[in-house]
C-alpha cells in the first residue's frame, strides 16, 4: 500500500503516524507547501517518516497520484480544504481531525471547509472518541467509516537522566507550543505559575514560542524557568528528570472552548507517560478519562498542595501506548475504505 500524506506543514502527529506506518512496511510519501519537520521540530528528520517529499505547489495532484501509484491520500487538519481540493484524484481520502475549527474560530470559510472535510472524505480519523461523537452529531451526513487514533508516543529507547538539582527540591514541568501570560486564553499559565511557585516549587516551561511577557515574568521569579525547545528522544529524556508534569484547563472558559478542552488528549500527555513522570491535571473530561484509565497521575481541583499530591503512589497500569501500536487500527481503516 502506498500512502500520500498531504499537509501544509506536517505536525508532530502526522510525523509519528507516517513514521510508524513506514516501520510496518508501508510506502509513505509527503506533499507539503509549508515548513518542514526539521523547521518545526529541531532534532527530528523528515526521512525517518517519509521516503519522498514533494513540493505540493509544483505538482498537479490527479496526475501525480496516478503516476506514483498512490492507493490512498491522508489529509490532516489544518487545513481542511485539502479534502475537497483532492476529490478528483480518483483514490480514497482519509481526513485526520485532531482539532476542529468550529471550536476555535468563527470564520465562515474555515467552518465550511470543516464541513466539507467531514462530508466528502472517504473516512475520518479522530484523536478521541469524544471528537468522533461530536463530529457525527454536528455533521450527520459525514463519512460513515472512521477510526480513533490517539496522539500516542513515538517509539524510541529512553534513558532516564539524573536530577540535576538538590534532592529536597520539587520540580514540575509544563509543555505548550505557545503558553500565554495574562491573556485569559485557555493556555494562560499566569495563575498556575503563581499558585505553584508560591509553594516554593520550581516550574519549568518548554515552549516553541515564548512571548516577552512570559520572559519578563521568569526574570522576576526564581522558581519559574524557561527551557530551550527540544524534540524527539532528547525531549523525553529531559522530561524524566522532573517530579511531575502539570496540565490545567482554566476555569470560566467560553462554552465552545470548554468543549474543545473536553475532547482533547494532547501529544504531551503521552510524552510525560513515556518519560515515566506522573501528571497532575485539573479539568477536561478527556483528560479525566485518560488519567483514570491508565493511572497516569491524579486529578485535582486546584494546585494548592502539590507536595501532598506527590506523596501518592504513581503506578501506571501499562507501558506507554506507541504510535506503532496505534497505527494497526489505521491500516485496517485504510483497507476498509480502499
63: left (phi over 0), alpha (psi -120 to 50) or beta: alpha
Residue 177 has pLDDT above 90, yes or no: no
- Kindly report the number of other CB atoms within 10 A of residue 187's CB atom: 16
Q: What is the pLDDT of residues 22-80, one digit of tens each?
A: 999 999 999 999 999 999 888 889 999 999 999 999 999 999 999 999 999 999 999 99
CA-to-CA separations, 95 to 115, 203, 316, in angstroms, rounded: 12, 37, 32
Q: What is the pLDDT of residues 250-275, one digit of tens each?
A: 667 778 777 877 888 788 899 999 99
Average pLDDT over residues 101-112: 88
H or E stretch covering 197: helix 190-197
Residue 114 has pLDDT above 70, yes or no: yes
Q: What is the pLDDT of residues 215-254, one digit of tens each?
A: 999 999 999 999 998 888 999 999 999 999 998 876 677 7
Q: Which residue segments constitute the domains of the chain, with CATH numbers given?
A: 2-152+323-337 (3.40.50.2000), 171-310 (3.40.50.2000)
Handedness of CA 174, 178, 82, 20 (dihedral sign): negative
The mean pLDDT value of the chain amounts to 92
What is the per-residue pLDDT for 86?
97
- Kindly report the number of other CB atoms within 10 A of residue 321's CB atom: 16
What is the per-residue pLDDT for 250?
67
What is the spatial distance between Cα 288 and Cα 282, in angstroms, rounded to a whole number?
8
- Kindly report the number of other CB atoms within 10 A of residue 76's CB atom: 23
Amino acid at each position: 500500500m502506498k500512502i500520500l500524506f498531504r499537509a501544509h506543514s506536517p505536525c508532530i502527529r502526522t510525523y509519528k503516524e507516517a513514521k510508524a506506518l513506514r516501520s510496518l512496511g508501508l510506502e509513505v510519501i509527503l506533499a507539503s507547501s509549508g515548513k518542514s519537520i526539521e523547521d518545526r521540530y529541531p532534532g527530528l528528520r523528515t526521512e525517518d517518516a517519509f521516503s519522498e517529499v514533494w513540493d505540493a505547489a509544483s505538482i498537479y495532484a490527479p496526475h501525480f497520484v496516478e503516476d506514483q501509484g498512490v492507493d490512498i491520500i491522508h489529509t490532516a487538519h489544518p487545513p481542511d480544504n485539502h479534502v475537497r481540493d483532492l476529490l478528483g484524484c480518483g483514490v480514497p481520502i482519509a481526513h485526520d481531525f485532531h482539532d476542529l475549527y468550529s471550536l476555535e474560530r468563527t470564520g465562515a470559510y474555515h467552518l465550511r471547509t470543516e464541513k466539507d472535510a467531514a462530508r466528502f472524505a472517504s473516512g475520518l480519523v479522530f484523536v478521541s472518541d469524544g471528537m468522533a461523537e461530536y463530529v457525527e452529531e454536528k455533521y450527520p451526513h459525514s463519512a460513515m467509516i472512521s477510526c480513533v487514533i490517539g496522539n500516542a508516543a513515538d517509539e524510541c529507547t529512553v534513558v532516564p537522566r539524573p536530577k540535576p538539582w538538590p534532592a529536597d527540591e520539587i520540580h514540575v514541568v509544563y509543555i505548550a507550543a505557545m503558553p500565554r501570560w495574562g491573556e485569559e486564553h485557555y493556555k494562560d499559565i499566569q495563575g498556575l505559575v503563581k499558585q505553584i511557585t508560591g509553594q516554593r516549587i520550581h516550574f519549568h516551561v518548554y515552549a516553541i514560542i515564548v512571548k516577552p511577557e512570559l520572559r519578563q515574568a521568569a526574570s522576576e521569579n526564581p522558581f519559574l524557568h524557561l527551557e530551550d525547545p527540544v524534540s524527539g528522544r532528547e525531549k523525553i529524556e529531559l522530561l524524566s528528570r522532573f517530579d511531575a508534569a502539570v496540565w490545567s484547563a482554566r476555569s470560566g472558559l467560553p462554552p465552545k472552548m470548554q468543549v474543545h478542552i473536553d475532547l482533547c488528549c494532547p501529544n504531551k500527555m503521552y510524552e510525560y507517560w513515556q518519560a515515566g513522570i506522573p501528571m497532575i491535571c485539573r479539568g477536561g473530561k478527556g483528560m479525566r478519562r485518560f488519567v483514570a484509565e491508565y493511572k497516569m497521575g491524579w486529578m485535582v481541583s486546584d494546585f494548592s498542595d502539590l507536595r501532598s499530591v506527590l506523596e501518592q503512589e504513581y503506578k501506571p497500569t501499562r507501558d506507554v501506548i506507541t504510535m506503532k501500536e496505534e497505527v494497526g487500527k489505521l491500516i485496517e481503516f485504510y483497507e476498509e475504505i480502499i
